[in-house]
Amino acid sequence: MKSFLFYIAVMAMSVSACDKANQTQFGIFKVLDDATTIEMDGVIKSKTLKNFNDLIDRYPNINLINIVNCDGSADDEINLQVAQLVYDMGINTHLNDNGLIASGGVDFFLAGVKRTRGTNTMIGVHSWSDGSSEANEFPVGHANHLPYINFYVAIGFSQQAAEDFYYFTINAAPASDIHYMTEAEIDQYNILNP
């Protein structure tokens, strides 16, 4: 009986190890067949950084993230950390046909070294809120704006371009609403760089 239970335990560990070796889903990220492209679909959460790191540990040759839908982040700090990793690793981002990015999803998309999109896409921006105040209630240059502006600079924006885009986003719509960028705005703020 003891050897039978040992056999069952070993088999369970083998199946678990095999499942992990073949794992392709890491939270909102899914590895596609070529193992150099991942698909992203969902909101960025506190676990997203760990999921992304686990994915990269297993699939270190990722060079493209195809975004299906990312309408924001539930954790802005984690979002900026994951996005910074994307940029630092030289990964490109692509918004799929009929795809949508908004709020923190736009920040994530901007981390792509090369940023492209398909047809019929939507890119939405708005102000952030800390629960009691909105971003545009703080004066220009306030310390609360710096994490975002510094992030844009860290992913390749000039200081002026970072500030221009950031202040545009927080004044485009309140936190409770969304402004979908026009083609002219997408061009003006260099959202794409094919």
Helix (H, G, I), strand (E, B) or coil at 128: coil
- For 132, other C-beta atoms within 10 Å of its C-beta total 6
- Determine the pLDDT at residue 3: 53
Domains of the chain by residue range: 19-127+174-188
What phi and psi values does residue 107 have, to the nearest 5 degrees? -60, -45
Handedness of CA 60, 63, 69, 71 (dihedral sign): positive
Bridge partner list, 177: none
In this predicted model, what pLDDT tens digit does every residue of 52-61 receive, in sequence order?
999 999 999 9
Q: Which fold has domain 19-127+174-188?
A: 2-enoyl-CoA Hydratase; Chain A, domain 1 (3.90.226)
Quote the pTM value: 0.88
Determine the average pLDDT of the residues in 80-101: 98
Determine the average pLDDT of the residues in 7-24: 53
CA distance 172 to 168: 6
Structure token pair of residue 132? 């009691």
Q: Measured in Å, how far apart are the chain's first and last C-alpha atoms? A: 64
**Cβ proximity of 116 and 168 under 8 Å:** no
Determine the average pLDDT of the residues in 99-107: 98
In this predicted model, what pLDDT tens digit does every residue of 117-159 receive, in sequence order?
999 999 999 999 988 999 999 999 999 999 999 999 999 999 9
CA distance 139 to 34: 47
